[in-house]
């Protein structure tokens, strides 16, 4: 089976990509389209660093064949980052020092984005539950939870897609 063109909507813009069979969405976004906020961590579904939103729901892009998102809406951290500043969730992570090396941060933010979209005032347990699949080796998680709590308190509404 040869390569084929896959069309999907990335950050509100339709993109067409030539995709080899079983190429992951993570590889297409990061290496073919240059969306480097989509991290390459474990590549086996265990760390959450590659998390993006598909139709508004968090998915592990390292496990998803790119052809499966044909016709769907894909959102990465780049998609929610304003050209002239930060998304309120990004600002909340900054304010709470919710990162150190930052490798896990895009995945954490995308999961949090979906959480706040569905549940603008999550409890601490709901935040912990939402972030349970995302691993951070640096922060001890407390600042990350504080960032999401801060974003919720600030009413961080989901931002428009920008890229």
Tell me: does residue 103 bind ligand FES (CB under 6 A).
Answer: yes
| Nearest residue to 59 via CA among 103, 93, 26 | 26
Tell me: does residue 45 bind ligand FES (CB under 6 A).
Answer: yes
Total residues binding ligand FES (CB under 6 A)? 22
**Window 117-146: residues binding ligand FES (CB under 6 A):** 136-139
Q: Please give the Cα distance from 158 to 161 (Å, whole number).
A: 9
Half-sphere exposure of 74 (CA within 13 A, CB side): 30
x-or-dash string of contact with ligand FES, 54-83, rule CB under 6 A:
------x-x---------------------
Number of Cβ atoms within 10 Å of the Cβ of 63: 15
Q: Which is nearer to ligand FES, 141 or 163 (CB)?
A: 141
- To ligand FES, the closest distance from the beta carbon of 71 in angstroms equals 23
- 117 strand-pairing partners: none
Q: Please give the Cα distance from 98 to 147 (Å, whole number).
A: 6
Contact residue for ligand FES among 19, 66, 104, 148 (CB under 6 A): 104
Given a contact cutoff of 8 angstroms between Cβ atoms, the answer to whether 44 and 105 are in contact is no
- To ligand FES, the closest distance from the beta carbon of 149 in angstroms equals 17
Tell me: does residue 96 bind ligand FES (CB under 6 A).
Answer: no
DSSP for 112-157 reads HHHHHHH-SS--HHHHHHHTTT---SSS-SHHHHHHHHHHHHTT-P
Q: Which is nearer to ligand FES, 17 or 136 (CB)?
A: 136
**Window 15-44: residues binding ligand FES (CB under 6 A):** 40-43
Which residues of this protein are in contact with ligand FES, per CB under 6 A? 40-43, 45-50, 60, 62, 99-104, 136-139
């Amino acid at each position: 089976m040869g390569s084929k063109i896959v069309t999907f909507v990335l950050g509100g813009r339709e993109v067409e990509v030539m995709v080899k069979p079983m190429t992951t969405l993570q590889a297409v976004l990061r290496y073919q389209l240059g969306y480097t906020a989509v991290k390459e961590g474990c590549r086996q579904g265990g760390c959450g660093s590659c998390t993006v939103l598909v139709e508004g729901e968090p998915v592990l892009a390292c496990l998803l064949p790119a052809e499966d998102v044909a016709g769907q809406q894909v959102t990465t951290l780049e998609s929610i980052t304003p050209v002239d500043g930060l998304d309120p969730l990004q600002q909340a992570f900054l304010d709470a020092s919710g990162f150190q090396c930052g490798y896990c941060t895009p995945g954490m933010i995308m999961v949090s984005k979906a959480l706040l979209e569905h549940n603008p005032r999550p409890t601490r347990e709901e935040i912990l539950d939402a972030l349970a699949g995302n691993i951070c080796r640096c922060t001890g998680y407390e600042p990350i939870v504080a960032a999401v709590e801060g974003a919720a308190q600030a009413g961080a509404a989901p931002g428009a897609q920008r890229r």
